[in-house]
Amino acid sequence: MKPVIIGLLGLGTVGGGTVQVLKRNAAEITRRAGREIRIGLASSRNLERVRPLDLDGIRLVADPFQLVTDPEVDIVVELMGGIEPARELVMRALDAGKHVVTANKMLIALHGNEIFAKAQERGLMVAFEAAVAGGIPIIKALREGLAGNQVEWLAGIINGTCNFILTEMREKGRDFADVLKEAQVLGYAEADPTFDVGGIDAAHKLTILASIAFGIPLQFDKVSIEGIADIEAVDVGYAEALGYRIKLLGIARRSRAGIELRVHPTLIPERRLLANVNGVMNAVVVKGDAVGPTLYYGAGAGAEPTASSVVADLVDVARALTADPENRVPHLAFQASAIADIPVLARQDITSAYYLRLLAEDRPGVLADVTRILADQAISIEAILQKEARAGETRLPIILLTQPVRENDMDTAIRHIESLAAIHGPIRRIRVETLN
């Protein structure tokens, strides 16, 4: 049978890993796909930097637009990253009748709706397993393995940089800024780490997971996003004392009122498996109504772990090349005509438990004032941690864990508490999820 010819856009970390995996495991991949999958053409922004790779038999093309329209190419693999020119190249490839595989989470989260519509119109496939959680096959699990379930919620550690930083802060008592510098030296964080530590990268991935889990359009603009830059070592320590660990979670939950889409630092009970995912590793818990909770764990980035997902997509596309387009697995798990317009809840309408840290005057009646304000908003307290004041200290921290409450009510309570003369500075709040 004729080999499947790949046009590869991008020969950086993931592109190089894809070349290595396809060449090293060529025989095994052929056995699985039923035909040889071969890179015929490749393009890179800087062709001089790709020389250490084994590019034997691969024609290098300076112009990526030439690659996506080349008649020899069956599948275009986009590993450039970013929005442009990646978006235009993918659309040109679809117009030219090419199937597409991509690892570009930003592209899918922001422009996936139009890309999938074009692919549907042309009877083509767009595969994107590597766009979320690197080597973990979470897209396939949601789209196919859990197809018999109604997904109730999912929660994931889906940014390795943030998980590395929070792990180091907990295990070694280090400050955020100190660990971030180390993460940059180690290559876990970019020179501008905003996308990672600001929660934006995780929000791109959550957008994709939620769309597949619930059969809704991709809606990145409706994700509530909060990063980890304000997390202090003292909060990590207090969380530990209360039996929790702090993780940056992406959470998508179905409720009667709509869908919750949120990324934020979260206290998780230390006994939960997700709380014990450390370093740069990723993990996603999915709760289905039939199967219950399932956990997917592994490397969320890196050359070959991500290439593993890229090559798995290539095998899927190669198997389906001759299949009737109507009988392929839909891009977002649900048939295109069945994508539902379920509302996404605003941040103020989301319900969550909270960790609150207050700096208060050490005098009688302060805690009573705080609890009264919480009671006025029907907010119940789960636990209180109050340290004894040391000699000469006039202020001390008070740590509160609340029962679940609507965020709008918590906003109101915090506003009133911060207005008390005995409370100094802003209140630190972190959401709490038990993941039951």
Q: Catalytic site residues?
A: 205
**Amino acid letter, residue 298:** G
The 3-state DSSP class for residue 141 equals helix
For the beta carbon of residue 416, count every other beta carbon within 10 angstroms: 16
**Amino acid letter, residue 204:** H
CB distance 380 to 409 below 8 Å: no
User: What is the rounded CA–CA span in Å between residue 264 and residue 287?
Assistant: 19
Return the structure tokens found at 335: 């048939």
**For 192-224, b where at least 16 C-beta lie within 10 A, e where not — what string?**
ebebbbbbbbbbbbbbbbbbbbbbbbbebebbb
Burial of 434 from C-beta contacts in 10 A (0-12 / 13-18 / 19+): exposed
Q: What DSSP assignment string belongs to 216-227? A: ----GGG-EE--
